[in-house]
Structure 1
């Protein structure tokens, strides 16, 4: 996983969810693919997906429970997990989590 993205356009307005517990910015790469870069502050949240997503943990630790799963899985920096389209997942953070969300 690369430490940075080259040749991107950045949407200036931030995406703020869950009363500021999750803040991200959208980027568009030269090939047209879209991603969000953000942070999730300590909390337990439920996210819904439209498109398939891959969540890449850049910093911090989180526990995730995917739709239909009965157990939580822990992810740390350098790891990632996939979520299907039109699904949801629960995420719990006890420290600030830096992430990249890859769509599609």
Structure 2
């Protein structure tokens, strides 16, 4: 397992690989973030809500617990979090 911290410790994740592939499980503190991808990502919100501005979009969209979104490889996307929010991210 790999433990990572980003944005001065406001985003923390644990990465692992299993039979489903490479996965990270993490938590984001309240804040605004911009992430870059190196491969396709499927992100599922587990607890809380995040607002996401995906590549090619002019607006943020709320993604709540139980919902998901995808980002293609080599793209950037913005996230706004109003309360601590947990996620799972699957890479392919």
Q: TM-score, normalised by structure 1?
A: 0.85
Deviation >3 Å, runs of 4+:
none
Which consecutive unaligned segments of at least 5 residues does structure 2 have? none
The number of residue pairs the alignment matches comes to: 92
How big is the alpha-carbon RMSD for the aligned residues of Structure 1 and Structure 2? 1.0
Aligned: 1:103 with 2:91: yes
Corresponding position of 1:23: 12
Greater gyration radius: 1
More strand by share: 2
Question: What residue in structure 2 maps to residue 72 of structure 1?
Answer: 60
**Structure 1 gaps, min length 5:** 1-10
- What TM-score do the two structures reach when normalised by structure 2? 0.96
> Counterparts of 1:35-74 in structure 2 under 5 Å?
35-74=23-62
Highest RCO, 1 vs 2 (Cα 8 Å, sep ≥ 6) = 2
